[in-house]
Amino acid sequence: MNRRDTLKLLGAAVATAAAPVSLVRPALAQAKPFVLPPLGYPYEALEPHIDTATMNFHHRNHHNAFITNLNGLVDKYADLSSKPPEEILSNLTAVPEAVRTPVRNNLGGHWNHVFFWDMMTPGGAKQPSGDLKNAIDGVFGDVDKMKAALKAAALGRFGSGWAWLAVGKDKKLAIFNTPYQDTPHMDQGAGAVIGIDVWEHAYYLKHQYRRGDYVDAWWNVVNWDKAAANFKRAAM
Ligand code: MN
């Protein structure tokens, strides 16, 4: 190898070594404070009640879209990565108007979905018990009547949204629905006990237009232990 060849090789090595450095642009170093939290169970764990494909798309695509959007909003609204989501969602008028709607939709969507994944479990308790059951019986008559009221709220939400059993500001259990990705504490100031996503993406692959069938199937995977803990916290 003569000297010219050696220089050529060195030149190639320098060019190769330099290439990755040039890829480290400030945009790549930008903080991404929001991450998609893992489900506490596999995608297929809620079969046959909630199907694997729906869980997969719902978590990896629909929920993840909120995460991507939130990371894109952090530069425009720094509080997003420092304040608790509940604090922001409870007082949206404090959010600058320029980003208020995307914060409402994406932070609301993120909060709702984290709540929803925790709200479901394979092989959990099949009925409420203890203080939660007593409160349900006191307000609705019995658990079946509460379920019927929640189903009515789910079916009564025109278009996309959520149906909730929640503890209101008056500390009483109530059922209502919210549009889009609005959260229970956003307008009602309520503490969610259980909540069901009634966007079509939550049921269309398995049930198509039959939202009621999805609600009926969903009761089989409700995590009543989690609901009891939510109730205890919200009722304090
Ligand atoms: Mn959803």
> 154 C-alpha to center of ligand 1: Å?
14
Q: Give the model confidence (pLDDT) of 63-91 as tens digits.
A: 999 999 999 999 999 999 999 999 999 99
> 201 C-alpha to center of ligand 1: Å?
6
CA distances from 6 to 10, 18, 43, 154 (A): 6, 18, 56, 74
> 58 C-alpha to center of ligand 1: Å?
6
DSSP sequence for 154-174: HHHS-SSEEEEEEE-TTS-EE
Q: Return the pLDDT at 14.
A: 43
Q: Give the model confidence (pLDDT) of 98-155 as tens digits.
A: 999 999 999 999 999 999 999 999 987 789 999 999 999 999 999 999 999 999 999 9
Number of H helices and number of E strands within the chain?
Answer: 12, 3
Q: Return the pLDDT at 189.
A: 81
Q: Which CATH number is associated with domain 49-236?
A: 3.55.40.20
> 63 C-alpha to center of ligand 1: Å?
7
> 204 C-alpha to center of ligand 1: Å?
11
